Structure 1
Amino acid sequence: MRILWTVFWTFLLSQMLVYVVSSMTGSTYDFMQGVFLTAVFSIIIIFLGEAGVPNEPHESHH
């Protein structure tokens, strides 16, 4: 379920990013560019979430 929500929000935010940037530059909106960004960002976010953050508590050395 975590991955589904990650892809859903990444899709919405990527489409918003593509729309805003294309509006600011005066070019046309490209839906497929947002889909490509969704795939790339989702893979990066899922990878960082699974492998990048350790779950073990850290010992305090103070």
Structure 2
Amino acid sequence: MRYIMTIVWAVLISAAVSYVLTSMGGEPFVLSEALILSAVFVVAAFILGDGVLKEKSN
């Protein structure tokens, strides 16, 4: 379930970031670019969550 929610939040956040940045630049919003950005966010979240920031058990 946490993987599904990570993907959902990554898509929502990357779409918002992409929309704001393209609006500021005067460019048209392209959904495919937002989805590529969300894939980057998902991979980064999975690597950080499962690898780098994992709690050490004693």
| TM-score scaled by length of structure 1 | 0.85
Q: Percent identity?
A: 29
Rg comparison, structure with higher value: 1
SS of residue paired to 1:37: helix
> Which ranges of 4 or more aligned residues in structure 1 deviate by more than 2 Å?
none
Worse overlay, 48-57 or 4-13: 48-57
- Pairing 1:34–2:34 present: yes
The count of corresponding residues between Structure 1 and Structure 2 is: 58
Q: Which runs of 5+ in 2 are unaligned?
A: none
Deviation digits for residues 1-47 of structure 1 (CA, Å, limit 9, x no counterpart): 11100010010000001111111110000000010001111011111
RMSD (Å) for aligned C-alpha atoms: 1.4
More helix by share: 2
In structure 1, stretches of 5+ residues that fail to align are none
